[in-house]
Structure 1
């Protein structure tokens, strides 16, 4: 499981991220380290991908340039490594990772199927991607995490994430839960379930590139992720919104996240 997520060089990369000497932006105890170090990120990450897909320009960029259908594990490895480096790594390594992402974004241009031009380094699109993942990661931690944050911790997490977002090119990223919610709501008129978004949802939820024996566990994780999304977003994708679904998702999500936490304890952690 770790090899799939982190890639063939995962152990060496993890060793460097967590143990290389040098100053860190986020020291021990920071909210971002608590959230990103917990297995609830698996549910949060899946929810974030589904939510991000609802912006037609963002989804067109992913569909046209990320290669997620042809190399889904490679994309997951790159994303998970970026999150780990910018959260736990040295300042030098984190700055280098951010510079690489900005360089990639600067080269991505295109047009959506509806004829809308986009560029990956557009601050407006970057803000959507940032807000969606921040909201989903925090929701997942508060619902399924081993040690949910208190109110101050939640605010601190949003502020920590804003630091990375600003470095990536987001203009004035939200630094409180209130401004984060307001930003997400402001995108509502732009959201739509395009053919690319529906294809991505089917791939993520129904046809993941995993062995058949792992499909039941993935199904439980998918239910946990869906329950994190606002009903208005689920409706756009034609996904369940009933209260009974949400009620069932809680215990199921908690169970599968606990199983993942047991399988993949944090570096230096215990099961």
Structure 2
């Protein structure tokens, strides 16, 4: 049996993990919640299709790309550096946890490819110089238009919020692709909304089975809670219809800003 020496254990303790790196990026962004336009999840009513850019991540089985994109939004959307962020390719690989299963060079290559896929979806622009990779946000609807911070002043600027603790507490690490996609779906809507699986292909672009698996995982992990909701239906056999409603649990809801201390009286 292979044993680990004390020196090797010490070295492992001082090497930053993926979560350490994500936490450092989010700490630098100086925000409690990350805004994301609702049109990333689902297009507004009246559009030719209700599917948002999220659909392509789900149908393309691109969990790595989706996690990377959400983190880029978190890192860039404070506008501190013009909606951009720059890191060494090894740091990008660690942000995506690619380093855990690949050699250094393979991890660097994997990170660049993941970012290029986001660029092909017109969600970001990316460029590299040597080992440094610069990423700039584009609008979340996949239109390729320049990014600006959503402020909720119009339907196309409505946004959901994800608390930074979603990453710093490792809650993102526990979700598979259906779970993460449905987390965004639930976050997009009001508390205690219904998400019928039969509508998933029309509303979001993925299968009812994917939809149900995502909701089930969220409930099992305690990230979303579920309740029964009955509606009077005089012509139904039971006299009512029943549907499940969902909302985020307290640990995944947006964090309220801390109140400033009242000024001392004169």
Per the normalisation by structure 2, the TM-score is 0.29
- Greater C-alpha radius of gyration: 2
Give the structure with the higher percent strand. 2
Higher share of residues assigned helix: 1
The answer to which structure, 1 or 2, has the higher relative contact order (CA under 8 A, 6+ apart) is 1
